Chain A
Amino acid sequence: MKPLRRLVDSVKPHFVKGGRFEKLHPAFDALETFLFVPAETTKNDVPVRDAIDLNRTMVTVIIALVPTLLFGMWNVGHQHYRAFGMEVSMMDSFMFGFWKVLPIIIVSYAVGLGVEFVFAITKGHPISEGYLVTGLLIPLTLPVTIPLWMVGLAAIFCTLLGKEIFGGTGMNFMNPALLARAFLFFAFPAFMSGDIWTDLTPEAGHALIDGYSGATNLVTFDANHTHLPSAANMFWGFEQGSIGETSVAACLIGAFILIATGIGSWQIIVSCFAGAWLMGAFLNLVAPADAPTHALHTPAYYHWLMGGFAFGAVYMATDPVSAAQTETGKWIYGLLIGAFTVVLRVFNPAYPEGVMLSILLMNVFAPLIDHIVVERHINRRMRVSAKG
């Protein structure tokens, strides 16, 4: 680390006030604080501060995302070779996916951080670490066949309209990464739904297998839920879908990391799952008895396994900025996300991935939920003080 520290110190004078690149100070500062803990000391009455900062927080979330990323890369290759009926080693599948996914991640980070840097420099505020997570979440929620320029466009959209116009990380009221996905979903529907989930780059000497179908589980269950693959298949994630969301197992490893470190709210994750199960079980009760293949009959816990529900509940709904902030509010927020996801999936075939829209919807409602909780709290206080 020493040579790096010396290098940073040697160029530092150019970036402080009066230096040649004074205007670029926020960019330099972001790099320096990312690499090293700043040397600033406490000035107030609390002389010792907790070792955690936002940088550490965001890096922890990225670590929690690694299982989904690695599995997603492997699954991209797995689905590709499966479509051509080829048997290849695990490493070959992974490397195929790695080279397909890497450019999407690079574009997402480069473009999004670029926008952040420009804003930080023009407005002269420090760069927040929020995009470190957003930049990885965006690729994981997209199909692998997405054109790279769309990834860039989505990154610009979510940084500008999702975050910066409200004042940057901490001020946004919707999850920026999900906003990026929703933007692409509505702006370029042909690239976000249909037979786009598997990379079908031709393989010399091989043709697509007979009976290949590009339909995801969410489309299948809507037509006839008994045609769904086995629960174990859906749990481990050997299915088509966005890059990072197919494996519930990988998401649960991530959930474990988030909960163990205390970064993600376990209340939100648990209540999301509970909400989906309760709504699924309720719909089973009201399902028409004469149509056993109807989507209403889907076993409630299948909603945990299909599509991106687990991914959304673990990584998207728990975003502390756009979620409800009060303890009670978090339970309500999570339950409603779970319930709305199932309602959207079952009743609206046009939007099979209900989890994206229901999280965004509840992001909008989160301040209202908090408002109700806090007002009730105030009323209780008033009653107590009136008595006293």
Chain B
Amino acid sequence: MPGLQKLSLSRTYFSWLFPKRSYELDTNMHGEERAFVMTGQYDKVLPMNIYPVFLLKAILARDIERMEALGIYEVSEEDFALCEFVCTSKIDVQQIISEGLKYIREEG
């Protein structure tokens, strides 16, 4: 069966049925960057009480008030490492967060 060695938090590969199998790990992106499509993926791997996609969109829009309201002061980019790992759209989540923190430091 194909996809048995793929590591994925989603259940679209059959590997999730065999949790004890060893995975084939590499640094391939496994896809190209796309717009945000899937929802609720980040929330599963982010421990804070924060709406990650809304925060990311506030950062992309450079909206400082909204970033503050959505809790940018409570996070650092490493908190979003798992979000970046699971992202179906292959978005550089950590980089966006770090841009947001930098922007808020310069402008705030």
The chain A residues found within 8 Å of chain B, CB to CB, are 33, 37-42, 44-57, 60, 126, 128-130, 167-171, 260-263, 265, 320-321, 323, 325-327, 330, 374, 377-378, 381-382
Q: From residue B36, how far is it (CB to closest CB) to chain A in Å?
A: 6
Q: Are B39 and A320 in contact (CB under 8 A)?
A: yes
- The answer to whether A169 and B37 touch across the interface, beta carbons within 8 angstroms, is yes
Q: Is the beta-carbon distance between B84 and A171 smaller than 8 angstroms? A: no
In the complex, B63 has a CB within 8 A of chain A: no
> Is there contact, CB below 8 Å, between B81 and A45?
yes
Asked if B34 and A169 sit within 8 Å, CB to CB, the answer is yes
Looking at the complex, which one of A47, A130, A170, A325 makes contact with B40 (CB distance below 8 Å)? A325
Q: Given contacts A37-B28, A52-B88, A54-B89, are A46 and B81 in contact (CB under 8 A)?
A: yes
Question: In the complex, A126→B92 CA distance in Å?
Answer: 17
A54, A129, A261, A382: the one within 8 Å of B11 (CB): A261
Complex CA–CA separation, A184 to B28 (angstroms): 43
- Return chain B residues, CB-CB under 8 Å to A378: 69-70
CA A46 to CA B45, docked complex, whole Å: 14
| CB atoms of B12 and A37 under 8 A apart | no
In the complex, are the beta carbons of B12 and A261 less than 8 A apart? yes
In the complex, A57→B94 CA distance in Å? 23
Question: What is the CA–CA distance of A213 and B9 in the complex, to the nearest angstrom?
Answer: 50
Say yes or no: is B101 at the interface (Cβ < 8 Å to chain A). Answer: no
Q: Which residues of B contact A (CB under 8 A)?
A: 3, 6-13, 25-32, 34-40, 43, 49, 51, 53-54, 69-71, 77-78, 81, 84-90, 92, 94-95
Bound Cα distance A323, B39 (Å):
9
Cα-based distance from A262 to B88 in the complex (angstroms) = 12
Cβ of A47 to closest chain B Cβ, rounded Å: 5
When A and B form their complex, which 3 residue pairs have the shortest distance between CB atoms, in order from nearest? A53-B31, A170-B35, A51-B6
* Cα of A124 to Cα of B85 in the assembled complex, Å: 27
The answer on a CB contact under 8 Å between B69 and A381 is yes
Min CB–CB distance B86 → chain A (angstroms): 5
The answer to whether A263 touches B40 (Cβ under 8 A) is no
B30 touches A49 (CB 8 A): yes
Cβ-defined contact, B37 with A57, below 8 A: yes
Chain A residues with Cβ under 8 A from B28's Cβ? 37, 39-42, 49
Whether the Cβ atoms of A46 and B70 lie closer than 8 Å is: no
Contacts of A325 in B (CB 8 A): 39-40, 53
> A residues within 8 A CB of B87?
49-50
- Nearest to A33 among chain B residues (CB) is B32
Q: Kindly list chain A residues whose C-beta atoms are within 8 Å of the C-beta of B89.
A: 53-54, 170
- On whether A261 and B30 interact (CB within 8 A), knowing A48-B25, A320-B37, the answer reads no
Give chain B nearest CB distance to A67 CB in angstroms: 18
Asked whether B92 lies within 8 Å of A52 as measured between CB atoms, the reply is no
Known: A41-B28, A55-B31, A169-B37. 15 other contacts (CB 8 A): A44-B92, A45-B78, A48-B27, A48-B85, A49-B31, A50-B88, A52-B10, A54-B34, A54-B37, A57-B12, A170-B89, A262-B10, A325-B40, A327-B40, A378-B70
Q: Is the CB of B31 within 8 A of A46?
A: no
17 residue pairs bridging A and B, Cβ less than 8 Å apart:
A33-B31, A39-B28, A42-B29, A44-B84, A45-B94, A48-B7, A49-B84, A52-B86, A53-B34, A54-B37, A56-B12, A262-B12, A263-B12, A321-B37, A325-B39, A326-B51, A327-B40
- Report if A44-B35 is in contact (Cβ < 8 Å); known contacts: A50-B10, A261-B11: no
Q: Contacts A54-B89, A170-B35 known; A262 to B30 CB distance under 8 Å?
A: no
A38 touching B31 in the complex, CB below 8 Å, given contacts A46-B85, A169-B37, A323-B39: yes
The CA-CA distance from A320 to B9 in the complex, in Å, is 18
- Which B residues are CB-close (under 8 A) to A326? 51
Whole-angstrom distance between the Cβ of A383 and the nearest chain B Cβ: 12
- In the bound assembly, the distance between CA atoms of A128 and B38 in angstroms comes to 13
